[in-house]
A and B are shown apart, each in its own frame.
Chain A
Amino acid sequence: MSKTIVIDGMEIPYEEGQTIMDAAIAADIYIPHLCHDPDYEPHGSCKLCTVNVNGRNCSACTFPAMEGQNIINKSTDLEHDRLRITQMLFVEGNHFCPSCEKTGNCQLQGVAYYLDMHDNHFPHFFANREMDASHADILIDHNRCIFCNLCVRASQEKDHKNVFAISGRGINKHLIVNSITGKLKDSDIDINDHAAHICPTGAILIKRTGYQVPIGERTYDKQQIDAVALAKENKHHGR
């Protein structure tokens, strides 16, 4: 008999070693997330996947699924908390969706749609962040970085390089590039690297591909992020 956990009253199976997120995705349950991608080592930093496990808040992407867990994923309180976290990410950086070429394909925006976010709620930080357009094919717009660490992990785990790192402390946290000048052009990134394509927002973009798909026909223009994420992340989906 397989082991089970309960998410929002529904009993779902899990395997030893799976996180709550793994088990949820396999059962076609969407838990909002930004720093998590099942292809990479879980990070647990964005906190959007916060769920309530037997009365205690945990990050679904890092917390192991265990027998006896009664998990709340959908509740007014949690949805409100996730909305606020998303708003925090919006005010921390400089996100201007209408002028961003990632609009419609951006996971931060997708999550905001999903959580029915209508304003930023908090005062803006108006952080002074620079762009790195030095590379011939790849652009970094630090204004849009949400520190999900996915480019760092992709470069290490899949590309076997160390192109990116997170530096600084607290609100001064920032993405840095591994090159003598600190510029992307002097790093050993390649346009085919996973790290160049993993960014959930418009912080790392491939040049000259911006408006190939018109606005209105993009990923989250057609489908909510829950359906998109489950379709992509659940390897068994559609079988």
Chain B
Amino acid sequence: MQSFIQPVIDRYGASPVQLLPILRDIQSEFQHIPAEAIEYVALSLDIPRTHIISVIEFYSFLHATPQGKYTLLISDSITDHMLGKQDLITYFAKQLKVNIGELRADGLVSLNNTSCSGMCDQGPAGLVNGYALTHLDRPRIDAIVKLIEQNIPVHQWPVEFFKVSDNIYLPGLLLQDPIAPGEALKARYQKGLQETLTEIDISGLRGRGGAGFKTAMKWRFCAEEIETERYVVCNADEGEPGTFKDRVLLNSYAHQVFEGMTLCASIIGAQQGFLYLRGEYLHLYDKLQNILQQRRQSGLLGNNILEQGLNFDIEIRMGCGAYICGEESALIESLEGKRGIPRNRPPYPVSQGYLNKPTVVNNVETFFAASKIALKGGQWFAAVGTDQSQGTKILSISGDCAKPGIYEYPFGTSIQQVLQDCGAADVLGIQIGGPSGTLIGQDELQRRLAFEDLATGGSFIIFNQSRNILDIVKNFTHFFAHESCGFCTPCRVGTSLLKKQLDKITDGYGSAGDVAALEELCQLVKNLSHCGLGQTAANPILSTLQRFPETYQQRLKKISYEPGFDLDASLETARRLANRSDAGAHLAQVEEDYS
């Protein structure tokens, strides 16, 4: 084992900040991280073994117990469910003779669910040994089962199983005309630092991850820090269910994204950048490395960029399956080889980020837009959109529509317009901004995409009248409970309580007081949680309680009191112990049943 691990550790310079890549490499060899490896890595990196164990136990894609030689994960996003995911995973389990969540006895294959894999426009989707699978259906599952039983290595599987399409249906200001590599940087050096920053300021560009902080201001704050060792981080941990535009930007516009990072580096004075790429996008890794290499060769990365004295390079760091790492301070913790726990703020990353040095963290789309703004000028961008939301926004559209994919709209566009363009009919509601955003109803279609109205990081999921609101809310609420990092009490306990309370109602055991209790719990989680995850985790329930109260009411029992659980089912153990199942060993849920 040491003969494998030592070169891995050497490759990463025996640095504790590289713990995640080290563990990823070990796991890809042994299908888990064996106890012996934990001991060896702990000694080599001079960190406590508990640090490594806690990291393994934090990230969904790291395991201390063996996984299958073929590790299958099926995306559990609501959009996958709408495309028949539940039936498919059950079918998969049956054909492979393995239980969901388990490793088959022969160690060949394991099967489990995973949070949204970012293929909502081409699902049902999954991952095999980390690589994205799209368009899963029964014939394809049959073929995959055959390949696994014949022990055919994943890289020899048919390429169409791994085909990931861009599906760009409506390119706008940014997507229709990408810049040529180097153009933005040349423009920046012609204009000068202050002038370029002024252009970005004029453009009104705000962070595209959803929070909407002004980009020029963030860069300026960072540049004004006394500490001169600074970092640029591109947040490509696109974990919000229903969002996949960053995947497309990195697949087809990576030059422009890297150029935006380099531009930022030239303005804030950074020498090192990181692309934090979510684990689900492993299929992009080699391609992105090649582009980085091309940029080094053309003098756009590395030492003395464009002979302007700028030294800057970009390293790709892979995430390991944790939605919380999309939160910028959790992302930084993860970059440092730790669990993704959001930090206490202040201090903010612009003053104390990666390794406690000033750090700019921006979304993929923000860097993508910034580079073109540097070339075209701020006014070019600001001329589009609304007063408070300038420019365009790239949407990832999925769910019930004819053409799910990527659409770029000027801010201020109405929801009605978007629905028309993507071919949505018979709409029940639209989830804007993903589970952490808002579910709007059909009487709100005149509302607009804008920070001041409906803000979104890009997720736009359409539900038609055949869908059940509570199924949607349940999927989202379970998602947050699964992804809560567990740091603070209100989110750790609260998201699990939300799940319990909502399930009680959807399973038909709720009474009138339970909806009030649910709402109170929502407010607690929202108002008291440490970070954005907890503060938005109750949004699916709150926005539907407000718009579809009757949906909840319909599930409630009419009687004033009923046990909040299945009375008869809970007697099962007693019946088994007593070895009887006569009428006297059963209980009705309510007394009325007897009359």
Contacts and interface: CB of A to CB of B under 8 A. Distances in A.
A26 B378 CA distance: 51
B564 A178 contact: no
A81 B528 contact: yes
Given A45-B489, A88-B497, A168 B57 contact: yes
A89 B488 contact: no
A162 B484 contact: no
B527 to A, nearest CB: 6
A169 B530 contact: no
A48 B488 CA distance: 10
Nearest to A82: B528
Interface string A160-172: 0010111111111
Interface stretch (B43-51, B151-159, B163-171): B43-51
Contacts of B317: none
A172 B486 contact: yes
A50 B494 CA distance: 16
Listed residue (B483, B484, B486, B527) with the most chain A CB atoms within 10 angstroms of its CB: B486
A42 interface: yes
Contact of B528 (A47, A122, A147, A178): A47
Interface in B483-520: 483-490, 492-497, 500
Contact of A47 (B39, B57, B488): B488
A92 interface: yes
B346 interface: yes
Contacts of B527: 57, 81
A130 B481 CA distance: 23
B48 A170 contact: no
A122 B497 contact: yes
Interface in A114-148: 122-123, 125, 147
A64 interface: yes
A237 B543 CA distance: 49
A109 interface: no
Main secondary structure of the interface of B (DSSP, over half): helix
A89 B493 contact: yes
B579 to A, nearest CB: 26
B53 A167 contact: yes
A123 B524 contact: no
Contacts of A57: 527-528
Contacts of B484: 169-171
B482 interface: yes
Given A44-B344, A62-B344, A172-B486, A167 B492 contact: no
Contacts of B344: 42, 44, 59, 62-63
A92 B500 CA distance: 13
B486 A85 contact: no
B28 interface: no
Interface in A67-105: 81, 84-85, 88-89, 91-92
A88 B58 contact: no
Nearest to A19: B344
B530 to A, nearest CB: 7
B322 interface: yes
B322 A169 contact: yes
B194 interface: no
A1 interface: no
B54 interface: yes
A91 B483 CA distance: 20
Classify chain A's interface size. 35 or more
A167 B528 contact: no
Contacts of B51: 162, 165
Given A123-B500, A167-B58, A178-B50, A92 B485 contact: no
A180 B39 CA distance: 8
A170 B50 contact: no
A50 to B, nearest CB: 6
A164 B528 CA distance: 27
A169 B59 CA distance: 8
A91 B521 CA distance: 14
Contacts of A123: 497, 500, 564
A168 B58 contact: yes
B506 to A, nearest CB: 15
A177 interface: yes
A177 B528 contact: no
Contacts of A170: 481-486, 492, 495-496
Contacts of B49: 178, 180
Contact of B487 (A45, A81, A178): A45
Contacts of B481: 170-171
A236 interface: no
B58 A64 contact: no
A46 interface: yes
Contacts of B59: 169
A166 B377 CA distance: 49
Contacts of B482: 170
Contact of B54 (A42, A44, A50, A165): A165
16 contacts: A44-B488, A45-B530, A46-B488, A47-B488, A81-B524, A85-B524, A92-B489, A92-B493, A122-B493, A164-B50, A165-B48, A167-B54, A167-B58, A169-B485, A170-B481, A171-B486
Interface of A: 42, 44-48, 50, 57, 59, 62-64, 81, 84-85, 88-89, 91-92, 122-123, 125, 147, 162, 164-173, 176-178, 180
For the complex of A and B, list the 4 residue pairs with the smallest distance between their C-beta atoms, beginning with the closest.
Answer: A165-B50, A173-B486, A167-B54, A88-B493
Given A88-B489, A91-B497, A165-B50, 10 more contacts: A57-B527, A81-B528, A85-B524, A123-B500, A164-B50, A167-B50, A168-B486, A170-B485, A171-B484, A171-B495
